Structure 1
Amino acid sequence: MTFHSRVTLAVLVTASFAPSLAFASSDDAWGAMRADVAEKCLAAAAGSIEKPRVVVDPFGSQSFGLALVSGKPQGAKGRITQICVYNKQTKTVELGGELTREMLKESAK
């Protein structure tokens, strides 16, 4: 077997194990990440939503934790939802714009 063939084989074997590495994280680690996402998203939304509630995507994407934060807008009537994106490396969050119930219903059509 040539050197090039051995390197190619090694890369293929290593790559075949890569998906299983994501599942190697413990339940405790996933739980800690979800708790951090919830805490930081709720804190970020506190200025725009009264008594915000959060729903955290159990795993997020490869790079980001994801959540929906919803509740009554500060000083207004109705209900809004904001998308919260948590950077898994920096552990910081950003909120998307305010989505109203009407906007969410329209997107479902």
Structure 2
Amino acid sequence: MTSFARLVSAAALFVLPLSSTASASSDDAWDEFAKDVAAKCTALAEGRIEEPKVVVDPFGTESYGMAILTGKAVGADATVSSICVYDKKSQTAEIGGELPADQVTITVP
């Protein structure tokens, strides 16, 4: 085995364990991201949707996280949904208006 091949083999042995740690770390970061999006969007739905169910796009776009909230409209019998956009840079969220069930149907387990 040439010295170059030994060097590449040694480098691979060093890097492989680190890649699994980075992957786990990334999974944890994405989980935290989704929790933050859900929490901030749910807070914005207060007074609009009773006990909203939230579906978070697991990664969003480069700049934004997105979620859809659905549930019973406060003070009505209608089911509504709202789209929430989360700015990854400022970590703030904004929620759109209520979309009636005949326009948007969301099923959340």
* TM-score (normalizing by structure 2): 0.71
5+ residue gaps, structure 2:
1-22
- Take 2:77 and 2:29, find their aligned partners in 1: how far apart are those partners? 38
- Take 2:104 and 2:35, find their aligned partners in 1: how far apart are those partners? 26
Is 1:91 matched with 2:88? no
Which AA in structure 2 matches 1:67? A
Shift of 1:27: 0.6
Shift of 1:77: 1.1
Shift of 1:59: 0.4
What is the aligned partner in structure 2 of residue 100 from structure 1?
A: 100
Indicate the percent of aligned positions where both proteins have the same amino acid: 51
Deviations 1:3-31 (A, max 9, x none): xxxxxxxxxxxxxxxxxxxx8x7111111
- Please identify which structure carries the higher helix content: 1
RMSD of aligned alpha carbons: 1.7
Deviations 1:61-104 (A, max 9, x none): 11000000010011011100000000001111101111011112
After TM superposition, the runs of 4+ consecutive aligned structure 1 residues lying more than 4 A away are none
* TM-score (normalizing by structure 1): 0.71
The structure that has the greater radius of gyration is 2
